[in-house]
Every structure is written in structure tokens, then in C-alpha cells.
């Protein structure tokens, strides 16, 4: 740009102004105008920014990102271009890249030397330096909203989401029109599963920018968190009419349609994602994860060809391996199937942090804390409601089947895997569970506090209840780690332990890629140890709370469904209803990997599937030895 003459600059500025006027009504003409400017003045960063905006408005997010990267390379101080780049990366679910772009936007927008120093540290991910600098600055300038927003970004990256939330709330109190801070605020609320609060902020964002696709996608995602699937589907479909090349948007639409029970439309959406992004591994896995879908030979060849590419991401690669593992399993090629599952799991394990020792230590602490004497001393405390029914256990143990059976009863509403017990426990532990003050901090809680925590759980989950049925199900499997806590705050809640043969359960989890959490499931030794800790903790809780926990053995349920369903309903204090036997006709939304399977009658095919892979499961058997040798749970 510095080499441009005054006449060139004036002409370019005028043309750019015209392109920006065309942006909303005719983004195609705005893009054409921007390209004409670039042809004459290729180093004019603002022209590349205009092109990026126009391409984003047309839904070509990949090309928009390329143009915005060019713009920011030419003019690093162009804060709006960095922010738009962050928005586009968010749409494509590149959270790491988006965070970096937003940090650069902050850096470009500040002129105070101290804030520039903090912004530089933030961009370089030197978070301790950035935090110290910002806190020092805010002591002298407590109402500097730019600094408050930067500190909130630091807190978010450090995993202190509640701190980030408080800081952003303060920034918006000082500057209600600070849209960038409000967008950050909505994201932080969403990441904490505070969907109603996030939606309120998104409404304010959309009032200012009604056509912003990033806001719309976030709105749809938040709506799925509270079970508003049809409304979310409408929003996804409307945005994709204008931004049809957004592969991740098509996949999100597929997820929403699948959960709502629209099987073929969900397949169509996943296939659209693949058409727009042939290397998009998660879209292939989403098809495989329907469990009832079968890949064609042409699709299998396409996945294998994508794996031969060297330019695909690790995430795309492991998703492709999982999808091919399922395709080979359906073809009864178990050696190839295990090879793909194993390769996918190794790639996933390399990218996460998980310690089986930490899980064992946490289990020991739970057993030491929740003694019969302690729970007896707290008898009668907590909230007296009988509404919640918790279904706990390991993933892939049959909990979705139990939920589908119970939610077919006229007195029970099914919801989803609710994060609220874990969120409350983490707050008590100062933001963490392992190595934190939870559950030990509960020792100092008063009866009033336990009652308040029970009320908080009911308040948090109320948004998930769409009917007037008196009971509702929370089927978060990991809640088995919090059975003692649940009993303290909700002593009349029902707790159902979904149990399955150790090897069958663990291997089913091993070949399942989970969108989030379940970090223990990507290594056979980790899985076996986790299962042993689960059985050990549940055996302790059985002894501590006799007759309070009802166990449903998956294999028994498959073999004799009526007997097991009658026992289950009796435990829940519910009369038998024939609808529970025909649960597969229930049309409610189901948000788990088993959503298509539980829309079919009970079948026993999965009970012995693990035996097809027994040759490769020695590490799992070794880790499970304490249970397989006759411990509880077999």
C-alpha cells in the first residue's frame, strides 16, 4: 500500500466505499468490486478485508478466511479484519485459530503501551505475563473495558470460565454496546452449558447484527442444549440457504435432525457436508455413528483415498479411522476393523491429557469421604424432591435403552446427559475435580447449603423439562462418580446403575469416538482401570447406601425384558405400563450414539460382539483382571 500514489489511493478508497455499500444487498457485486481494486492495488489490505467480508456474506468461509489472512498480513493493525477472521474460524469450529485471531484483534485495537505489552503476551500465549500486566493496569484503570476483556480472555484460556464470565459481565455493565465483549460473553456462557443465559446474550447480538452467521450458528447450538431441536433445525436450515458451502454447518444440522428422529434428513445433511468438504472426517464418522447406516463401496474407497493424503488434519484422520472401523466391522473384516479403531484411538489419545492414576486417587478420596457414618449424619438433609431419576454407569452400557424404556412411561420425561451435577461439583472444587477440594469441602456444609444445592440442580435442569410429567431422567453416565454427593443434596432421587459385561462394555466404548469427555476411552489399559475404579466405587456405595441404587444388567435386560422392566418400574415407584415394552415407538429426541438403535425393538446382536475382537483385547483383559477374577459387577 505504501507504494500507491495519491491518485491510486483516492480511486481505491472510493471504489472500496462503493464495495462496502454493496456488501449487504449484493455481496456478489461487492466481491467483484473488491477483486477489481485488488487487481490494480494488490497490497491494499482493506480491499482484501472487503473481499473477505463479501465472501463471508456469500457463505464461502474458506475463501473468506484466505482473504482475511491476506488483509491482516498486509495491515496487521486492522482490528476489524482480525475480528472477522476470528468469527469465520469460529464458524468452521477452529476454536484455537479463532482465539488467536481474536487476541490479534485486541492487540491491534489498543494503543496504551502497557495494554500493547499484555496483548503481545496474549498472542504469544504467555498467559502469566499477560495476567500480571493486565491486573497491574486495572488497579490504576479499573474501568478500562478493553483491559477487562483481555483479562477475561486470559481467564478463559486458563480454564477459569466463571472468572471470565464475571469479567465480561463487568465490561458490558460499563460498555453495553461492546459487541466483541458480548460475543465473548455468550461463548463463555455456552461453554459452561448455561444455554438460557447464552441465548439472552445472542438475542442482543442479533439485534445489532441480524445476519451474522456466527451468531446464528451459536444460537442454534445453544438451542440444542436445551432440547429445542426443531427451532435449532429451522435456524441451521435458514443460515445454510445463504451459506451453503459451510460443511460444519451441514454436520450440525445433521446432528440436530438425528437427535429429533429425522433419520434420512440427517443422512442427507451429513452427505452434504462431505460433498462440500471431502476430507471432513467427522462427517463420515457422523454417518457411521448412526450405527444403522451402511457405507457403500464407493464411500469406503473415498475414505481410504482421503487417508492417503498428507495434508489432512489429525482430527480428520482419526475420524476417518473410526468410520472405516465401523465399515469394516459391518463387513465382518474384524482384523481391518480393529486396526482402524486402534489407529483412531492412538491419534485421539496423543492429543488429550488423561491419567488413570488420577482417576484411582479420586475414587479413593470418594470412598474415604462418603462413609456410612457421614451419610447417616446427613440423613434428612438436602432437597426432598422425588423428581430426578439418575441413570449412571459407563458409556455404552445400555443407559440410553433404560432411558428410552422409562421415558415411555406416562409419568417420566426423558431429557439428555445433563452436565449440571458435574458443573456444581467442579464449582465446589474450585473449577476442578481431580486434585481439588471436592468432595472434602462438603464436610463444612450446613443442611441449608445441601438443600440449596439440590434446589440449584432443579433450577438448572428446569429448562430441559418440556412436559408436566412428575419425574425426569438425567442420564449423564459419569455421575456414578457423584452418587454420594447426589444422595446428600437429593436424598429421594432414584439412582440406576447401568451395568454391562466388563469386556463388552469397555470395547464398545473403545470403538466409539466421543465428541467430548470420556478421555479414558482411547486406550485399552486406561479403559480397564477406569472400569475397575467404577465397580469399586459402586460396590462401596452399595454397601454405604443399601437398597438405594438399582442395578440393571444389560445382558439380563436383553434376555428377559419384561421381568427387568417390571423390576425397574417397581424400584422407581411406578405402575407397569405396556408402553414401556414398546419403547421403540417413542418419538422423543434422543441425543446419544444409540439414538437410532433405541428406535428399534430389543435385539441381542451387541451382547457378544466383543468376541469378534478377542484376539486383540489382551491389554484390556489384563487391566480388568481384578473384576474378571470374581470381583463385583460380573
CATH number of the domain within which 387 lies:
3.40.50.300
Asked if residue 41 belongs to a domain, the reply is: no
Kindly tell me if the per-residue pLDDT of 598 is higher than 70. no
Any alpha helices (H) in 578-624, and if so which ranges?
618-623
Task: Tell which wins on pLDDT, 357 or 102.
Answer: 357
Q: In what order do the strands lie in the sheet with 549-553?
A: 412-416, 471-474, 388-393, 494-499, 549-553
Q: Are 9 and 47 in contact (CB under 8 A)?
A: no
In terms of C-beta density within 10 A (0-12 exposed, 13-18 middle, 19 or more buried), how is residue 377 classed?
Answer: exposed
Q: How far apart are CA 250 and CA 283, in angstroms?
A: 9
Q: How far apart are CA 77 and CA 612, in angstroms?
A: 59
Task: Tell which wins on pLDDT, 93 or 459.
Answer: 459
The DSSP 8-state label assigned to residue 262 in this structure reads: -
pLDDT of residue 119: 82
pLDDT of residue 367: 97
| Residue 374 confidence class, pLDDT cut points 50, 70, 90 | very high
Each residue's pLDDT tens digit, 279-337: 999 999 999 999 889 999 999 999 999 999 999 999 999 999 999 999 999 999 999 99
Output the average pLDDT for the chain. 89
| Residue 602 confidence class, pLDDT cut points 50, 70, 90 | low
C-alpha cell at 349: 489419545
Asked if residue 556 belongs to a domain, the reply is: yes
What number of other Cβ atoms are within 10 A of residue 608's Cβ?
Answer: 11
Q: What are phi and psi of 138, to 5 degrees?
A: -70, -20
Q: Are 480 and 538 in contact (CB under 8 A)?
A: yes
Placement of cell 451474522 in the chain: 212
| Cα pseudo-dihedral 545, 546, 549, 551, rounded to 10 | 140
How many domains are there within the chain? 1
Asked if residue 280 belongs to a domain, the reply is: no
| Residue 633 confidence class, pLDDT cut points 50, 70, 90 | very low
Q: How far apart are CA 95 and CA 67, in angstroms?
A: 19
| Cα pseudo-dihedral 221, 223, 228, 233, rounded to 10 | -40
Placement of cell 412436559 in the chain: 467
C-alpha cell at 513: 469416538
Identify the CA nearest to 510 among candidates 526, 522, 502: 522
C-alpha cell at 392: 449412571
3-state secondary structure string across 529-566: HHHHHHHHHHHHHHHHCCCCEEEEEHHHHHHCHHHHHH
pLDDT of residue 84: 87
Each residue's pLDDT tens digit, 77-91: 888 888 889 888 877
Give the total residue count for the chain.
634
Placement of cell 463387513 in the chain: 331
Any alpha helices (H) in 192-278, and if so which ranges?
195-208, 213-225, 229-242, 247-260, 263-276
Asked if residue 132 belongs to a domain, the reply is: no
Placement of cell 439472552 in the chain: 200
pLDDT of residue 1: 43
Q: Are 484 and 367 in contact (CB under 8 A)?
A: no
C-alpha cell at 327: 465399515
Asked if residue 573 belongs to a domain, the reply is: yes
pLDDT of residue 2: 44
Radius of gyration of the chain from Cα atoms? 27
Compute the average pLDDT of residues 181-189. Answer: 94
Q: How far apart are CA 611 and CA 174, in angstroms?
A: 62
Kindly tell me if the per-residue pLDDT of 51 is higher than 50. yes
> What phi-psi label fits residue 378: left (phi over 0), alpha (psi between -120 and 50 degrees) or beta?
alpha
* Residue-number span of the structural domain to which 407 is assigned: 356-628
Kindly tell me if the per-residue pLDDT of 207 is higher than 50. yes
Residue 24 CA to chain centroid, in angstroms? 33
C-alpha cell at 436: 481439588
Task: Tell which wins on pLDDT, 605 or 153.
Answer: 153
Identify the CA nearest to 588 among candidates 456, 453, 335, 416: 416
Q: How far apart are CA 185 and CA 297, in angstroms?
A: 46
pLDDT of residue 605: 62
| Cα pseudo-dihedral 608, 614, 619, 625, rounded to 10 | 50
Low-confidence winner among 23-27, 165-169, 197-201, 522-526 (lowest mean pLDDT):
23-27
Task: State whether residue 388 is helix, strand or coil.
Answer: strand
Strand 494-499 relative to strand 471-474, pairing:
unpaired
Q: What are phi and psi of 560, to 5 degrees?
A: -145, 75
Asked if residue 608 belongs to a domain, the reply is: yes
In terms of C-beta density within 10 A (0-12 exposed, 13-18 middle, 19 or more buried), how is residue 588 classed?
Answer: buried
| Residue 224 confidence class, pLDDT cut points 50, 70, 90 | very high
Q: How far apart are CA 296 and CA 345, in angstroms?
A: 24
Q: Are 285 and 254 in contact (CB under 8 A)?
A: no
C-alpha cell at 470: 412428575
Asked if residue 386 belongs to a domain, the reply is: yes
Q: Are 204 and 182 in contact (CB under 8 A)?
A: yes
pLDDT of residue 587: 56
Identify the CA nearest to 226 among candidates 462, 559, 426: 462
Placement of cell 425426569 in the chain: 472
| Residue 591 confidence class, pLDDT cut points 50, 70, 90 | very low
Asked if residue 533 belongs to a domain, the reply is: yes
Identify the CA nearest to 407 among candidates 589, 597, 596: 589
Q: How far apart are CA 297 and CA 312, in angstroms?
A: 22
What number of other Cβ atoms are within 10 A of residue 241's Cβ?
Answer: 9
pLDDT of residue 220: 95
551 has which bridge partners?
A: 497
Q: Are 245 and 64 in contact (CB under 8 A)?
A: no
Kindly tell me if the per-residue pLDDT of 433 is higher than 80. no
The DSSP 8-state label assigned to residue 310 in this structure reads: S
3-state secondary structure string across 159-208: CCHHHHHHHHHHHHHHCCCCHHHHHHHHHHHHHCCCHHHHHHHHHHHHHH
Amino acid at each position: 500500500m505504501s507504494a500507491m500514489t495519491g491518485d491510486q489511493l483516492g480511486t481505491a478508497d472510493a471504489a472500496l466505499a462503493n464495495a462496502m455499500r454493496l456488501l449487504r444487498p449484493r455481496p456478489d457485486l461487492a466481491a467483484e468490486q473488491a477483486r477489481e481494486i485488488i487487481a490494480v492495488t494488490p497490497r491494499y489490505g482493506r480491499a482484501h478485508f472487503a473481499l473477505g467480508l463479501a465472501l463471508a456474506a456469500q457463505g464461502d468461509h474458506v475463501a473468506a478466511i484466505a482473504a482475511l489472512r491476506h488483509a491482516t498480513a498486509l495491515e496487521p493493525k486492522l482490528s476489524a479484519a482480525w475480528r472477522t477472521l476470528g468469527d469465520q474460524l469460529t464458524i468452521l469450529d477452529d476454536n484455537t485459530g479463532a482465539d488467536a485471531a481474536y487476541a490479534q484483534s485486541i492487540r491491534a485495537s489498543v494503543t496504551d503501551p502497557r495494554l500493547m505489552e499484555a496483548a503481545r503476551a496474549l498472542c504469544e500465549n504467555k498467559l502469566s505475563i499477560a495476567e500480571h500486566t493486565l491486573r497491574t493496569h486495572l488497579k490504576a484503570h479499573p474501568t478500562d473495558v478493553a483491559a477487562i476483556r483481555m483479562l477475561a480472555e486470559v481467564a478463559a484460556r486458563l480454564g477459569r470460565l466463571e472468572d471470565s464470565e464475571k469479567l465480561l459481565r463487568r465490561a458490558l455493565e460499563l460498555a453495553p454496546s461492546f459487541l466483541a465483549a458480548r460475543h465473548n460473553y455468550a461463548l463463555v456462557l455456552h461453554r459452561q452449558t448455561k444455554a438460557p443465559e447464552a441465548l439472552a446474550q445472542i438475542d442482543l447480538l442479533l439485534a445489532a447484527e441480524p445476519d451474522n452467521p456466527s451468531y446464528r450458528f451459536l444460537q442454534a447450538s445453544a438451542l440444542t442444549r436445551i432440547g429445542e431441536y426443531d427451532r435449532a433445525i429451522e435456524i441451521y436450515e435458514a443460515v445454510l440457504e445463504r451459506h451453503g458451502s459451510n460443511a460444519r454447518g451441514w454436520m450440525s444440522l445433521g446432528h440436530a435432525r438425528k437427535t429429533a428422529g429425522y433419520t434420512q434428513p440427517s443422512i442427507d445433511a451429513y452427505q452434504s457436508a462431505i460433498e462440500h468438504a471431502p476430507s471432513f472426517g467427522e462427517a463420515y464418522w457422523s454417518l457411521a455413528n448412526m450405527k444403522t447406516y451402511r457405507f457403500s463401496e464407493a464411500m469406503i474407497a473415498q475414505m481410504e483415498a482421503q487417508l492417503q493424503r498428507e495434508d489432512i488434519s489429525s482430527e480428520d484422520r482419526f475420524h476417518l479411522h473410526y468410520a472405516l472401523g465401523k465399515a469394516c466391522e459391518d463387513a465382518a473384516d474384524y482384523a481391518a476393523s480393529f486396526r482402524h479403531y486402534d489407529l483412531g484411538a492412538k491419534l485421539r489419545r496423543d492429543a488429550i491429557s488423561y491419567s488413570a492414576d488420577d482417576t484411582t486417587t479420586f475414587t479413593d478420596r470418594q470412598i474415604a469421604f462418603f462413609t456410612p457414618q457421614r451419610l447417616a449424619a446427613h440423613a434428612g438433609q438436602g432437597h426432598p424432591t422425588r423428581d430426578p431419576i439418575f441413570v449412571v454407569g459407563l458409556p455404552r452400557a445400555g443407559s440410553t435403552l433404560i432411558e428410552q424404556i422409562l421415558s415411555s412411561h406416562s409419568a417420566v420425561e426423558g431429557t439428555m446427559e445433563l452436565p449440571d451435577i458435574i458443573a456444581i461439583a467442579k464449582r465446589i472444587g474450585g473449577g476442578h475435580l481431580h486434585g481439588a477440594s471436592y468432595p472434602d469441602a462438603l464436610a463444612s456444609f450446613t443442611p441449608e447449603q445441601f438443600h440449596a444445592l439440590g434446589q440449584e440442580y432443579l433450577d438448572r435442569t428446569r429448562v430441559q423439562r418440556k412436559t408436566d410429567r412428575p419425574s425426569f431422567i438425567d442420564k449423564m453416565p459419569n455421575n456414578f462418580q457423584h452418587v454420594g454427593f447426589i444422595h446428600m443434596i437429593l436424598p429421594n432421587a432414584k439412582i440406576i446403575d447401568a451395568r454391562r459385561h466388563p469386556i463388552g462394555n469397555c470395547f464398545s466404548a473403545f470403538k466409539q469416538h466421543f465428541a467430548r469427555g470420556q478421555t479414558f476411552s482411547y486406550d485399552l489399559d486406561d479403559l480397564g482401570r477406569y472400569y475397575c475404579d467404577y465397580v469399586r466405587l459402586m460396590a462401596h456405595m452399595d454397601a454405604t447406601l443399601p437398597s438405594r441404587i438399582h442395578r440393571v444388567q444389560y445382558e439380563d435386560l436383553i434376555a428377559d425384558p419384561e421381568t427387568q422392566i417390571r423390576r425397574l418400574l417397581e424400584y422407581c415407584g411406578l405402575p407397569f405400563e405396556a408402553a414401556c415394552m414398546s419403547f421403540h415407538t417413542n418419538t422423543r429426541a434422543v441425543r446419544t450414539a444409540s439414538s437410532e438403535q433405541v428406535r428399534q425393538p430389543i435385539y441381542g446382536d451387541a451382547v457378544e460382539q466383543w468376541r469378534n475382537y478377542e484376539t486383540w483385547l489382551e491389554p484390556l483383559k489384563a487391566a480388568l483382571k481384578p473384576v474378571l477374577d470374581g470381583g463385583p459387577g460380573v
